[in-house]
Structure 1
Amino acid sequence: MNIVILGGMGFLGRNLVAFLTRQANQRITVFDRLPLDHDAVKTLPTSVNYVQGEFVTGFDFTRIVHNADLIIHLVSTSVPGTEQGVIDEINANVIPSTELFQACVQEGVGRILFMSSGGTVYGASNKHKNSETDLPDPINTYGLQKIMIEQALHLAVRNSATDYQIVRLSNPYGPGQNPHGALGLVTKLVYQALNHDTIHIFGDGSVVRDFIYIDDAIQAIGDIVEHGDMNATYNVGRGIGTSVADVVNTIDAVLPERLNIVHTPGRAVDVPYSVLNIDKYHRISSIKEFVSLEEGIKRTYDFFKEHRQ
């Protein structure tokens, strides 16, 4: 397959590139904004073609999707908690994505896989696991732009030869994630514990999330690419809810460091409860057992001990 990954230098992207380059007969092109001389770009396998560019309205997407069999769209200019107003999110994410999809249809791309957000598109779910058939009800602009992009994708490929797949991913974490970034609660807390930093928790720690170790997240995406239905949406997570307080307690129990925890006011943009029903993915899954939170914390801790950042 000829695969183009937009946002291929992010946490998910780098791991997905590594996964796909281990498969036979895959030709990979990575599109990202990092300059060619950036240290991260230099770590890409020599077999991977890199295209530098900004994901903005007016970019000539036809030149990077030409002759592609599969487009994997991972780009988002914001993350929950840092998102902008509705108009800014539409201009920065929805419009360029729509232009990308139109370019794919124009160039006869076989399939588009869009990385949506299982943690934000469903909104406050009253403590039940969200299924793909549940109506979206985002409470922040990050979730709103993801839903708008999903709908733009449906419309763009309608009556065309281009298929689509949508992955609503929960909360991935693990080695290689930036511990100083806005995303990745488990990764950040493990890093802060290792470095004896003060751990700041929003609210009382009752917010519940569905945390998935990065290797499992990537394998699940690979399963969907290989065996998933066309023109379908898949939830990807562990299907297990864990509160922030329980994450902290698990880190405290697993790691030798003592934790210094400070509670700060909760944020209105945080969905109180977000856990995914993954029955649909289970039907095509090659994962016999997901990495447990305890094991994922240990692996992340060992990585940071070896690779101090």
Structure 2
Amino acid sequence: MNIVVFGGSGFIGSHMVRCLSTDPGNHITVFDHSVAAGQRQGITYVQGSFATGFDFAGLVRGADLVIHLISTSVPGTESGALSEIQRNVIPSVELFQACAECGVKKVVFLSSGGTVYGNSGRQANRETDLPDPINTYGLQKLMIEQALRLCATTGGFDCQIIRLSNPYGPGQNPQGPLGLITKLVYQAINGETIQIFGDGSVVRDFIYIDDAVACIMDVIGNGAPNETVNIGRGVGTSVSEVIETLERVLPIQVNVTHRPGRSVDVPYSVLDIAKYRSFGSVREFVTLADGIRKTYDFFRKGRS
């Protein structure tokens, strides 16, 4: 297939591109604001800004599959609603319209299972639950979802929406704004004091990156067209429990301080993954303890 991956140099994207490139029949175009120099066999790199007015048609013409992973913001760093719409929603609509005009067969959008549902109490969120985001990051993701469904219907292509929980592991920037577990492991290794927001009661659905990518590939290859699918472990873990696991499995001292909680953080976010389990290949997920060990080993190897 001819595949275009928007955001293919990022944490999730780079893992996906590596997986897609194992099929010698695939030709992959990676678009991102920062890309690898040159060209690897079967992979073309295109550097650019995901912004309104970009020639998306020039990139997607002839593509069988377009994967949209790009977001110009993350939870906690997002700006006002108008800015999010201008920076993320409008360029996404232009991309989807270009896909329709150029005869793209399928578009996959990576949404946010951790933010689109909002405050749902202490229950796992199903794909059929009414979205109710409490921050502008979740708002723009939800708007892009709706725009994709409309453009797919009117433009005659298939789409899939993947609501991913909280991925972590090797390849994630430990000094970036995302990836609690990756950051905590990195800080512990480097003897830094770990700072967490709130009292540690916030609950998230953490998934190791290899499992996340395997699940995403399952959706693309085996999931029904024009469907929304949750991807996570389906297991809730509080920040305090993450810290306790770090202290138990890592052979180093962990020092923790608390900062005031943030209003943009959903108190409880766990995904119901029954739909994925009905067709997916991942039956046993990497446990939190094993994922922490794998991430620790990755950083230790990089220091040796």
**TM-score (structure 2 length as normaliser):** 0.98
What is the aligned partner in structure 2 of residue 282 from structure 1?
Answer: 277
Measure how far apart 1:82 and its partner are.
0.3
Q: What does the per-residue CA deviation read over 1:118-171, in whole Å, with 9 as the maximum and x for residues that have no partner? A: 000000110100000000000000000000000111111213321100000000
What is the aligned partner in structure 2 of residue 124 from structure 1?
Answer: 119
What is the aligned partner in structure 2 of residue 230 from structure 1?
Answer: 225
Measure how far apart 1:45 and its partner are.
3.5
Measure how far apart 1:66 and its partner are.
0.3
Pick from 159, 169, 175: which aligns with 1:180? 175
* Whole-angstrom CA distance in 2 between matches of 1:120 and 1:218: 20
Q: For the Cα contact (< 8 Å) 2:277–2:283, is it kept in 1? A: no
What is the aligned partner in structure 2 of residue 89 from structure 1?
Answer: 84
* 2:157 is the counterpart of 1:162: yes
What is the aligned partner in structure 2 of residue 256 from structure 1?
Answer: 251
User: Aligned residue pairs: how many?
Assistant: 304
What is the aligned partner in structure 2 of residue 12 from structure 1?
Answer: 12
Partner AA of 1:241 in structure 2: G
What is the aligned partner in structure 1 of residue 29 from structure 2?
Answer: 29
* Whole-angstrom CA distance in 2 between matches of 1:75 and 1:60: 16
Partner AA of 1:21 in structure 2: S
Partner AA of 1:59 in structure 2: F
Give structure 1 stretches of 5+ with no counterpart: none
Which aligned runs of 4 or more in structure 1 are off by greater than 2 angstroms? Answer: 42-47
SS in 1 for 2:218: helix
What is the aligned partner in structure 1 of residue 194 from structure 2?
Answer: 199
Pick from 201, 212, 216: which aligns with 2:207? 212
Partner AA of 2:42 in structure 1: S
Measure how far apart 1:43 and its partner are.
8.8
* Whole-angstrom CA distance in 2 between matches of 1:29 and 1:202: 38
Measure how far apart 1:44 and its partner are.
6.9
* Whole-angstrom CA distance in 1 between matches of 2:81 and 2:183: 28
* 2:129 is the counterpart of 1:134: yes
* Whole-angstrom CA distance in 2 between matches of 1:175 and 1:140: 28
Percent of aligned positions with the same letter in both sequences? 60
Q: What does the per-residue CA deviation read over 1:40-77, in whole Å, with 9 as the maximum and x for residues that have no partner? A: x1497432101111100000100000000000000000
What is the aligned partner in structure 2 of residue 61 from structure 1?
Answer: 56
Q: How does 1:283-302 map to 2 (within 5 A)?
A: 283-302=278-297
* Whole-angstrom CA distance in 2 between matches of 1:154 and 1:285: 23
* Whole-angstrom CA distance in 1 between matches of 2:223 and 2:177: 31
Q: What does the per-residue CA deviation read over 1:224-253, in whole Å, with 9 as the maximum and x for residues that have no partner? A: 111000000000000000000000000000
Pick from 258, 269, 273: which aligns with 2:264? 269
Give structure 2 stretches of 5+ with no counterpart: none
